[in-house]
Amino acid sequence: MHLLISLLLNALALIITSKIVPGIYVPDFGVALLAAIIIGLVNTFIRPILLILTAPINLLTLGLFTFVINALMLYLASLLVPAFEVNGAWSAILGAIVLSVASTILSSLAKSLEKKAK
């Protein structure tokens, strides 16, 4: 159940990101849900490999290169989901930042609501 709620919150965060960041287009919630699934899979399987390979660069930039890796993961997801569009590197970088902030806020709200319900 937790995985389903997390997936729905990430899809909602993706829609919020598309409303804030120019150059990111998500036409509807179904596409956002599919994109959230793909982003989750890409972050699970490909992102750790890229983080290991780019560890020296990440160390030199004090972790800021992680934003570039996150942007690449968002762009890769846009290549795999036909109706999900990310136009340009700056849109991908800004979108990755906004997506992570929106996802964190929505997850925190969900956790606080869950605690109040208990």
Residue 8 lies in a domain: yes
Residue 91 lies in a domain: yes
Residue 118 lies in a domain: no
Residue 117 lies in a domain: no
Q: Which domain holds residue 23?
A: 2-112
Would you tell me how many other CB atoms lie within 10 Å of the CB of residue 2? 8
pTM, whole model, 2 decimals?
0.92
C-beta contacts of 8-11 below 8 A and 24+ residues apart: 8/33, 9/103, 9/106, 9/107, 9/110, 10/36, 10/39, 10/40, 10/103, 11/35, 11/36
pLDDT of residue 113: 87
Residue 48 lies in a domain: yes
Count how many domains the chain has. Answer: 1
Angle in degrees, CA 65, 73, 51, rounded to 5: 45
pLDDT of residue 28: 95
Taking the chain (118 residues) in runs of 10, the rounded mean pLDDT of each run is 90 97 96 96 96 96 95 96 95 96 94 84
